Structure 1
Amino acid sequence: MTTSPLVLGPMMRYVDEKSASVWVETRFAARVSIRAGGRDWAASTFAVHGHHYALVELHGLEPATVMPYAVDVNGTRVWPDPESGFPPSMIATLKPGKPLRMAYGSCRTSVPHDASGNRTHGVDSLRAYALQMASSGGGDLPWPDLVAFLGDQVYADLTSKQMQEFIRARRDIKAPPGQELKDYEEYAHLYYLAWSDPANRWLLSTLPSAMIFDDHDIRDDWNTSLSWKRKMEATSWWHGRIVAGLASYWVYQHLGNMSPQERAEDAIWQLIAAHAGEDEIDVSAALDSFAERADQDPGSYRWSYCRDFGDTRLIVVDSRAARDLTPDDRALVDKAEMAWFDGRMRGGFRHLLVATSLPYLLPMGLHYVESWNEAVSQGAWGKLAARAGEKLRQALDLEHWAAFQNSFREVASMVTDVADGKRGQAPETITFLSGDVHYSYVAEVERTSGSRVVQAVCSPIRNPLPRLMRSFAAIMSYGLATPVGALVARSAKVPDPPFHWSGIDGPWFQNNLAYLEVAPEGLKLWWQTGVLDDGDNLHPRLERVAALTVAPRSAATGARPA
C-alpha cells in the first residue's frame, strides 16, 4: 500500500465572491495544484520544523458558483480519493447579497470515534454533521457559507492515549511537561489526530472554515492573570510550549482566516510569497521569532479579524493573547485591540455578530461571582484574601469577560451605542457567539427599544461535562448563585452591571454544533447533536436539541420591521 503525499487537507478556508483559499500539509517539499472548472492554480510548499505546507489561492472565480475540485502534488492526483465513498469536494463562492448561513461551536477533543471514545467523550457532533451532509447533500440541511470554530480545536494539555503514545515514542513522558505538548512536532501530530478522520476531513475540504483559539489550544487558564503567567514562565518548558503553540496556530488555523489582501500584509506570508515558484523556503526560525514576539508583546500582532457577508458583519475577537495582565490595568483585550474592536462595532448592518471564545454574557450568577473574584484577587478584601482569590480564580476558571470588569463595561458601552442607533442605523440584533463553558444556552439583555442584544453559546462539539459537574455548573450559573453572587459582588464594591440580562433558553449539556441563518423573520438559531442507533458508533445521526428565532422589534421601537 502506497503512502499518499497528502498528510492533511485539503481544507477549504477563506472564501468570498471571487476567491478561495485551500490549505494542505504534504509529506515532502512539493508543488501543489488545485484544478477546477478547466483551470488550475498552484503554490510551492513552505517548511516549518520538518513539515511541509501550502496554501493555494484561487483567484478570478465567478460569484455564486459551485464546482468540484481536485488536488495534485508534483503532478500526481492525490484528492479526491475515489475509494473514500464521499462526494466530490466543492468550491462554493459566495453570492452577492445572499443572507448568511453559518455553523459554529467550540471545544472538540481528538479521541477515536469508537465505542470507547463515544463512551468517554460522546459522539462528535461535527462528524455526525459531516455524515449527514455526505448523505444526499444533507437532506433538509442546507450547506452553510462558513463554519466558525470558537476555540479549543486541540487540547495541548489534556492529551489522548493516542497522543501520549506519540509522546512516549520520542521523549521521557515523565519529565516535564509530561503528558502535555512540548514542541512543534507534537503540535503537528495533535492537529493530525484532530483533522484526519475521513468524514471530518471530507467536510472541511468543502465547507469554508474560520477559527480562533482559546486556552486549551495552549494550556488551561492561558493568560488568566499575571501571577499565572509568571508561574508558567518560571518552568523549564513554558517558553517552548508557547512558541510552538502560537507558531503552529498560525500555520494550521490563522493562515486560512486571512483574506488574500490580509495575507499580503502579513510578514511571515510575505517571506513565503517572495519565494513563489522557487524551491521550498523554510520559515521555522522566522515563525518561532514571530511567535515569541507575539507572546511577549501582544500589540505586535492581531489575531482578531472581521468579515462582512452582505448585510451581516462578523467580528471575531481574540480574548486570550491580547490581554493586558498588569494588575492595575487589567483588560481582556488591550487598548490597541479594543480600539480595533471599537472601530468595527458599527450599525448599518441587519445583524452584527461578535464571535469570541469566551461568553460575553455569562449566566448572571456566574457573572457576579467572577466580578467579585476579580475584586478580591486585586486586594478588595486584603492581601490574604487576594491570595485565596487568585487560587480560586485558577481552580474554577473564573476568567471570562466578567472577570475583567473594565473590558466588560467598555464593550457594554459600545453595544449600547450601536443598539441605540448612535453608530449608524441600529441592527436588528447584536449577537455574541461563544463557546468554552461546556454547555449551551441563549441569554438576552433586557431592553425595550433598539437592537436585541443576545448571547448564543455552543459548547462543546465533543467534550461534555461529567454529570456531577453539570449540576455544579447549573447551581453556579442559575441557582442561588445569582442573589448570593450579587451580594458578595457588592460587598467587594463591584458596581452593578450596566445592563441586566436573563436566560431565554437552555442550558443544554449535550455535544452540539450550532447553526445560524439570517432569514426574513429574524435570526434563526438551532443546535444539533449526534446520536447513535443500535450502538452503531461509526454512523451517528443528527438530532435537533433546540431552536429559536430572534425576531426584530417593531419599527416603532427604532429597529427594522420584521
Structure 2
Amino acid sequence: MLYPELPLVLAGPILRHTAPEVVTVWVALQKACTVELRIYHTQAIDDCLFTGKRATVALGESLHVVAVTAQTTLQPDQLYAYDLCFKFEQGECSLQEGLTSDRFPDVNLSYFDHGKPTFLLPPTQIEDLKILHGSCRKPHGHGIDALPILDSLLETTAAEIRDRPHQLFLTGDQIYGDDVSARLLETATLLGDSLLGWQEKLPLKSTFMTASELKPQERGEIATRQAGFTGGLGDKRQKVENHLFSLGEYYATYLLSWSQIGWAILKPTEPHLERFVHTLWQVRRALANIPTYMIFDDHDVTDDWNLNQAWCLRVLGRSLGRRVVQNALLAYAVFQGWGNTPERFEVEQSGARLLDAAQTWSASQGSDRAALQEIAKLVGMPPQDPKTGLPKFIQDGDVNILDRHPDALTWNFIIRSQCHEILVLDTRTWRGYPLDHEQVSQKIAPPRLIAPAALVQQLSLLQDSKHLTTFLVAPTNLFGLQVIDWIHHWQLRKKKVFSTDVGDAWNVNTDALAQLLTHLFKLRDSIVVLSGDIHYSSTIRLSYQRADSAPGVLMQLTSSAMKNEELITRIIHTRLKHWLLPEPKRKWFGWDHPPHMIERSKPIDSPDWKCELEWIPRRAAEHTDLSLDRFPVRAGLFHFNLFKFWTWKWIQDGREIVGVNNLALVSFTRDDSSLEVIHTLYWFSSWRPLEIVKSRFARSTL
C-alpha cells in the first residue's frame, strides 16, 4: 500500500445508476482486487438477493477504481441495502474492514444498525417522487458547503419510504480544474503523483516539466500563455495560478472532493477549505446512500471550456492545452461518466477500451504514445490539422462542430422509472460554431450550445414514454436574470466575452433556443428543467402556445451553488434585488423555419408560436430540524456580520433568488387534475449561524 496508515478504500462507495434491473456502485481503492457487490432487502438483511463482480482498473500503482454492477429485479417502495467484498489473490476483506485503518478507526456509511448503505427506487406515482439537485462546488469557495445537508435529509428520512429522497443530480462543476486553492493543489500534486507511482511529463514550449516542478501560485503565466486558458485573462490571473495540469492532479481532486481520506497527507490550512474538509464524512455517507448522476460543466475541465470557436482554436491548438483537457476528460470518464452509463464501459464498448488505454498508459509511466492517442480518440478530442496544428472542425448544417472519432464516448444519457424520465444533455462537446471563423466577431460569437443534428439526436431519446413526467438536465440555464442578459450583450459588443461567459446561456443565441423549444414542445407538453451554473437559485415558469397544438409549460428549476457564493449573489439574495431590479414578465415570438425568436412586449403578426416567462416568488424562509456536524465559526465566516442589520431575516428573505450556498429538493403534489411542482431550497441562515432553513417555490405545471 502507498499509505499503510490509510484504509484500503480511498473514496466511495458512491451509489450510481440504480434501476429495477441494475445497481451500480463506484469505489476507489489503494490495491487491485475483484469487487463483489451484494444486494439485500432490509427485511431479510442477511440473505443476499443479487451479486455482481468486476475487477478494478489500475489507474496507477496505488489507485484502483471500479464501477461494479449487479443485475437485479427490484421493486419500488422497498428499502434495499448493499455491501461490498474485496477479493484479492490471497484472502478478502469486507467493506467495513476496507473503510477503516489505524488513522481512521471509525467510519460509518449507514443510517441503520445493520451497518449497510441503503437506497430506494423511484416510486410508481409522480406525487411520491423526490429528486435532489445542485451544482458548483468549489472546495475553497465562500460559505458553508451545502452538500452535507443531503446527509441530514437522508438521516432524518432513512426509514421513511414516503419521505426519503430517491435520486441526486449533480448538474455541473463537481470539481474546479481552474480555480484551485494553493493548499488543494499542493495536496493534489503530492497525492496524485504518489497514487500513480510516476510523474507525467507535461508538454511545455520546447521542454517538458512535471506537476511537482510547477509550484502553487506560479502557474498563471503558463496556464494563460502556454495552455491558452482564458480563465486568467484580464485582471483574473489569480484564478489560474493553481490550475490543475496533470492527470494525477485531476484524479486526486476527485478523491479530495468526495472523501476525507486523502486529506490526511496534508491538512488544510485555509479557513474555507478547513470547513469543507470537516464535513466531508457527511458527504461521503450521503453519496453512498442515494443513486447519484453527474454531468460536467466547464469547471470540471477549465473555465470557458469550448465556450466559443476562439477558445477552441486558442487552447486545442496548443500542446499543453490539449493535454490538460484530455486529462480532465479521462478523469471525468472514470470518476463521473462510468457510473452514469455503466453499459458503455462493458466489454468491447468504447468505455472499456478507454479503461484499457488508461491502464496501459499508466503502466508505461506515460511513455506509450499509442495508448495516449487511444485515450484522445475515445474521450472525443478533435484531431489536429497537420499543417497548422489547430483542431479540426466539420460542418453540421449551418455551423461547425469539433471533429471526433466515431468511437468516441458520448456523455448525454437518459434514465427512466415508472413515473418519470430524466434526459441529461451534453452542452459542452457538441457546440455549433459559425461557419466563417476568419472574422474575430465570428470566432467569439455565442455558439449553439448543441449543434442542430446533435440536438435532434439527444432529444430523440424522448420519443417514447409520453405518459411519464419529463425532466431535462441542462447544465447551463435556458433563461436567466434580465440584467445578466444586458451585460452579456454589452460585453459581446465590446468583444470581452470571456470575462462573463458570454455564450454559456441558451438565450444569448436565440436561434438555438428557438430550435430547442420547438423540438421539446413537439415531443412533450410539459417539461421540468434542472439547471445550475450561475451561483444563484430560482424557479421560472415558461408558458408556450402554438396555434396548431395544445399549450405547453416549462419549469426551470435552478440550484447553484453548493459551495461558491459570492458578494454579488449574497446581495441579490436579499430584498434589495426585487426592490431595485424586479424580474418582469417577458414575452417572445418565434418561427420554425428557420428557428428564430425575438423578444417583444406587444403582439407580432403571424408568429408560429409565442411564449411568456415569469419568475416564481419564493415563500418566506422556514426553520428546519436539520443540522450539520458542528465546527468553530471563525471571524470572517459571514461577510456582513459587521453590519448587524444585514443579517436580519427580513432583509435576507428576498423574493426571487436564493443567492447563498444551497441544495434543492424537487417534489410534487396533485390537486384534482393539476400537478404542482415544489422546488425547496435548503440554505444556511445569516441571522443564526449554521441554522439550516428552507425556501419554497411552488407552481402548477400539469
User: Where on the TM-score scale, by shorter chain, does this alignment land: which range?
Assistant: 0.7 to 0.9
Tell me how far 1:527 sits from its aligned partner: 2.7
Contact 2:586 2:614 in 1 (8 A): no
Give the ranges of 4+ consecutive aligned residues of structure 1 lying more than 6 Å apart after TM superposition: 138-141, 280-284, 472-478, 480-486, 532-536
* Residue from 678, 693, 702 that aligns with 1:525: 678
Tell me how far 1:96 sits from its aligned partner: 6.5
Tell me how far 1:141 sits from its aligned partner: 8.6
Q: Does 1:54 align with 2:66?
A: yes
Tell me how far 1:76 sits from its aligned partner: 0.8
Equivalent in the alignment of 1:193:
256
* Residue from 119, 122, 142 that aligns with 1:92: 119
Higher RCO (CA < 8 A, seq sep 6+): 1
Contact 1:125 1:461 in 2 (8 A): yes
Equivalent in the alignment of 2:605:
none
Equivalent in the alignment of 1:250:
333
* Residue from 488, 513, 516 that aligns with 2:663: 513
Equivalent in the alignment of 2:454:
337
Equivalent in the alignment of 2:300:
217
Q: Does 1:318 align with 2:321?
A: no
Contact 1:5 1:73 in 2 (8 A): no
Q: Where does 1:22-101 land on structure 2 (aligned, <5 Å)?
A: 22-37=25-40, 38-39=47-48, 40-50=51-61, 51-64=63-76, 65-74=78-87, 75-79=92-96, 83-85=106-108, 86-87=110-111, 88-92=115-119, 94=121, 97-99=124-126, 100-101=129-130
> Partners of 1:547 and 1:394 in 2: how far apart?
32
SS in 2 for 1:219: coil
Amino acid at match of 1:16: A
Tell me how far 1:131 sits from its aligned partner: 3.0
Tell me how far 1:411 sits from its aligned partner: 0.8
* Residue from 394, 399, 404 that aligns with 2:509: 404
Contact 2:147 2:283 in 1 (8 A): yes
> Partners of 2:183 and 2:461 in 1: how far apart?
42
Tell me how far 1:364 sits from its aligned partner: 4.0
Q: Where does 1:208-357 land on structure 2 (aligned, <5 Å)?
A: 208-235=291-318, 237-258=320-341, 260=343, 263=346, 266-269=349-352, 285=372, 286-291=374-379, 293=381, 297=403, 300-328=408-436, 330-346=447-463, 348-357=466-475
Contact 2:658 2:681 in 1 (8 A): no
Amino acid at match of 1:531: F
> Partners of 2:160 and 2:34 in 1: how far apart?
37
Q: Give the 3 Å change call, closer, same or farther, for CA 480–54 of structure 1 in structure 2.
A: closer
User: Which moved further from structure 2: 196-205 or 225-234?
Assistant: 225-234
Q: Where does 1:448-463 land on structure 2 (aligned, <5 Å)?
A: 450-463=551-564
Q: Does 1:394 align with 2:498?
A: yes
Contact 1:364 1:478 in 2 (8 A): no
> Partners of 1:459 and 1:124 in 2: how far apart?
12
> Partners of 1:256 and 1:338 in 2: how far apart?
23
Q: Does 1:166 align with 2:187?
A: yes
Q: Where does 1:412-427 land on structure 2 (aligned, <5 Å)?
A: 412-418=517-523, 426=525
> Partners of 1:93 and 1:78 in 2: how far apart?
20
Gaps of 5+ in 1: 112-119, 275-279, 378-384, 420-425, 487-492, 553-562
Tell me how far 1:395 sits from its aligned partner: 1.2
Q: Residue by residue, what CA displacement relative to the aligned partner does 1:506-531 show, whole Å, maximum 9, x if unpaired? A: 21102111111244342432333343
Equivalent in the alignment of 1:207:
290
Tell me how far 1:158 sits from its aligned partner: 0.7
Gaps of 5+ in 2: 41-46, 191-211, 224-240, 260-279, 384-401, 437-441, 589-595, 601-609, 618-655
Amino acid at match of 1:333: I
Amino acid at match of 1:435: G
> Partners of 2:659 and 2:528 in 1: how far apart?
21
Tell me how far 1:394 sits from its aligned partner: 1.2
Q: Give the 3 Å change call, closer, same or farther, for CA 313–185 of structure 1 in structure 2.
A: same
C-alpha root-mean-square deviation of aligned residues, in Å?
Answer: 3.7
Q: Give the 3 Å change call, closer, same or farther, for CA 35–2 of structure 1 in structure 2.
A: farther
Contact 1:363 1:502 in 2 (8 A): no
> Partners of 2:345 and 2:65 in 1: how far apart?
19
TM-score (norm 1): 0.80
Contact 1:244 1:288 in 2 (8 A): no
Q: Residue by residue, what CA displacement relative to the aligned partner does 1:273-295 show, whole Å, maximum 9, x if unpaired? A: 99xxxxx9999644344225368
User: Which moved further from structure 2: 34-43 or 409-418?
Assistant: 34-43
Contact 2:17 2:341 in 1 (8 A): yes
> How many positions carry a matched residue from both structures?
508
> Partners of 2:310 and 2:698 in 1: how far apart?
42
> Partners of 1:290 and 1:261 in 2: how far apart?
12
Tell me how far 1:405 sits from its aligned partner: 2.6
Contact 1:105 1:460 in 2 (8 A): yes
SS in 1 for 2:186: helix
Equivalent in the alignment of 1:490:
none
TM-score (norm 2): 0.65
Q: Give the 3 Å change call, closer, same or farther, for CA 294–13 of structure 1 in structure 2.
A: farther
> Partners of 2:686 and 2:577 in 1: how far apart?
32
Tell me how far 1:92 sits from its aligned partner: 3.2
SS in 2 for 1:165: helix
Q: Which has the higher helix share?
A: 1
Equivalent in the alignment of 2:481:
363
Larger-Rg structure: 2
> Partners of 1:73 and 1:108 in 2: how far apart?
31
